[in-house]
Chains A and B, each alone.
Chain A
């Protein structure tokens, strides 16, 4: 009997074979079942369903984003540890895993770190902080926010499911065809990669629209664009980039998927297809993507430095100008990712120079941060330590970036360990350190207690030391001729450097462990670390004007803004107690599970495409359309909190 109409190409031959993957494949379902059983045992299902799964509260959605991002950081980090362990041991003859698995692991590492750690943590922090900073009650479209999160979640499930069944792509995180085409890669691995990214990417695209409208429309009265906290500016610029860049990713992955499921010839080597076009398209998204990740981190640092230096941010206007300059420039540099493709000297020189020009606004930002500290009273808390580590690491990454922007130099370091070291330098040093700083900074606002500062600092030091140990040797290895993505090599003089690098990844692992420890310890000691004032850092922006944890309605009374750093000056002027008649009825969105259902169905579309289960694609597509229509024609999505109720709630929260 042929069951392929029902189960597509699912078959036992796709079960994992080598011990490492097998272990993970067995361990993961067991862990999930364990968690589910624990939830059942502690009777937490209704709490999780009502308070989390169906929530439309941006803060909670932000926390869920962050939770997934941290989980994925551990997964991607474990991948990194295994990769470097393999290269350290390469010449002993010990093979931790075979070449195919090695290639799948580095592809997974890259894809997970960018899409599920970077993007996840970014949207997490934006959800947590942005509406509060704008003096808004919520994002512009709370329901769409829930859809975005659950699409992100669905993508995460798909990318991890590949571990259990079918294997992953071996084409690197950007999956260049023809290697990822049918001819060289007929199995489901590349499809897992495509659909995990496609679904998460559509979620990001929707978020991009959501936050742009939030910033343009949900600002508190009186908050003109130039009175916004700089973080909001950085998010606005990043979200415009999301809206311009992510559709290109959607189209590109869509075309690659059509090549694979319908035998089309967009990126094949034969029948007129053009693989170089894929490389151009994917980088037309890929380069803006790195700015999408790093600009919000810049915004976070701007807030943190001003807060802890207890001084106004230096050069606000130039900071905004620099952000906008970077936004435009990020679209005219993509070709620098393939100088070696044989474009002419003029093309290469143009893109090289454009790339260098980005260093100017970036450098300006650095100077502005440094001069924010000048004649300030800087308090070195954990977020500030993250900033110091960032300033050092990112600057080094910037220098190696300028080196690689010179085409004639890039010819000698492209696609080597030097490149690997460079982009980790800017992504760990810029993006991750920024988000970590943000976590330590905004944590009290979300949870009502601060994170243990000492452990936070220790974590930052471990990351910094580990970073140097892990990546400086890679720079040298690149100059010695070590290509990226190799699992083995002949030259014995590379061994000690790979060992040092492996040790460095271990130290980074300790840093991540310390961070988790600081969270666990702080939850345990939450009474002692409680933030009773709502303003633990003597903050400057509006989120610190509400109690901690921030109530679900954010602001009982919508604040009116007259200047930058509104809260800082209000504290100076003296904060008046709100009167009963200041409270007004407010309308808030009702919880709904429709976002979850849409994401489940979308995930099934992806799953159907991966395994060629066409009925599943059709059914799930109908479900998605049905839910979208149902939601958009439902006018009863909100409930009202009366002024009286709000008054009581607010009094309780402030007590």
Chain B
């Protein structure tokens, strides 16, 4: 291995380690928001409580979209690895579309609540709900923008090792958001409806 190649490999390793550490800090952000949500969920200010506003079937569709998108992003990564540029782009496009679908549903849910007068300023519970779920949604939005940029890069530069490295970070990020969503699904929606 030439020193240049070694240098690149080393850089890739550092990027990957750093990205995992970044995800750890992000977990801390979400942990703070989850803790806040759990503490404030009964502060409904006479407004709706969790069981009054959550629609589990709706959330199941959201969850389904996100899980499938996670799957397609993984397939896209494999395609990049095997050098199948077209296939990678199609799968990445699917991932983006599913992500946008998820985000649309989330915005629809938010919009309905706000129109019904149950916006985030109504009660501590709604503040915490909108902020926790919205922060996840913001991450999804960033992921979508990232995926678009990534698609642009691959269509220009092909499935180079650089592309694979960049793609691997994105896939980790996207899976991570999936994981966070599972927690939101359980703690916010599922437990919210049960209680």
Query: Which A residues lie at the B interface, using CB under 8 A?
Result: 140-141, 205, 208-210, 212-213, 216-218, 243-244, 246-248, 250-252, 254-255, 258-259, 262-266, 268, 270-274, 277, 281, 584-585, 587, 625, 629, 632-633, 635
Q: Please state if A274 and B43 are interface contacts (CB–CB under 8 Å).
A: yes
- Compute how far the CA of A265 lies from the CA of B24 in the bound complex, rounded to whole angstroms: 27
Residues of A within 8 A of B33 (CB): 251
A255 to B131, CA, bound (A): 8
For residue B111, give the distance in angstroms from its CB to the closest CB of chain A.
16
Q: From B29, B33, B42, B166, name the one whose CB has the most chain A CB atoms within 10 angstroms.
A: B29
Q: Does B84 contact A (CB under 8 A)?
A: no
Contact, CB under 8 Å: B40 / A272: yes
For the complex, give the distance between the alpha carbons of A366 and B130 in Å: 49
- Knowing A255-B131, A262-B120, the reply to whether A277 touches B18 (Cβ < 8 A) is no
Which of B10, B42, B44, B121 makes the CB contact (< 8 A) with A262?
B121
A265, B25: Cβ atoms under 8 Å?
no
- Contact: B149 with A247, CB < 8 Å? no
Give the CA-CA distance A248 to B4 in the complex, in Å.
39
The 5 A-B pairs with the shortest beta carbon distances in the complex, nearest first, are A272-B43, A272-B124, A247-B28, A251-B32, A264-B127
Nearest chain A CB to B190 CB, angstrom units: 22
Q: Decide if the interface of chain B is mainly helix, strand, loop or mixed.
A: helix
Interface size class of B (residues with CB under 8 A): 35 or more
Q: When the two chains form their complex, are residues A271 and B124 in contact, meaning their CB atoms are under 8 A apart?
A: yes
10 CB-based A-B contacts, threshold 8 Å: A251-B29, A255-B36, A259-B127, A272-B42, A272-B45, A272-B124, A272-B125, A273-B127, A274-B39, A633-B152
A274 near B40: Cβ-Cβ < 8 Å: yes
Question: Is A247 a contact of B36 with CB atoms below 8 Å?
Answer: no
* Complex Cα–Cα for A582 and B193 (A): 68
A219 to chain B, nearest CB (A): 12
Residues of B within 8 A of A218 (CB): 14
CA distance A633 to B167 in the complex (A): 11
Cα-based distance from A208 to B25 in the complex (angstroms): 10
Instruction: State A434–B127 Cα separation when bound (angstroms).
Output: 43
- Separation of A277 and B123 alpha carbons in the complex (Å): 15
Contacts known (A216-B17, A272-B44); A247 close to B131, Cβ less than 8 A: no
Residues from chain B with a CB closer than 8 A to the CB of A277 are 36, 39-40
Most buried by B among A243, A248, A265, A266: A265
CA distance in complex: A251, B25 (Å):
11
Residues of B near A209 (CB, < 8 A) are 18, 21-22, 25
A6 to chain B, nearest CB (A): 25
Is A587 within 8 A of B32, CB to CB? no
Q: For A272, give the chain B residue with the smallest CB separation.
A: B43
- Do residues A265 and B26 form an inter-chain contact, with CB atoms below 8 A? no
Closest residue on chain B to residue A266 by CB atoms? B127
Rounded to whole angstroms, the CA-CA distance of A306 and B78 in the bound complex is 53
Q: How near does chain A come to B72, taking the closest CB pair, in angstroms?
A: 22
- Give CA–CA (A584, B21) in the complex, Å: 32
A209 to B124, CA, bound (A): 33
Interface centre among B7, B43, B127, B153 (most CB of A within 10 A): B127
The interface residues of chain B lying within 8 Å CB-to-CB of A635 are 162
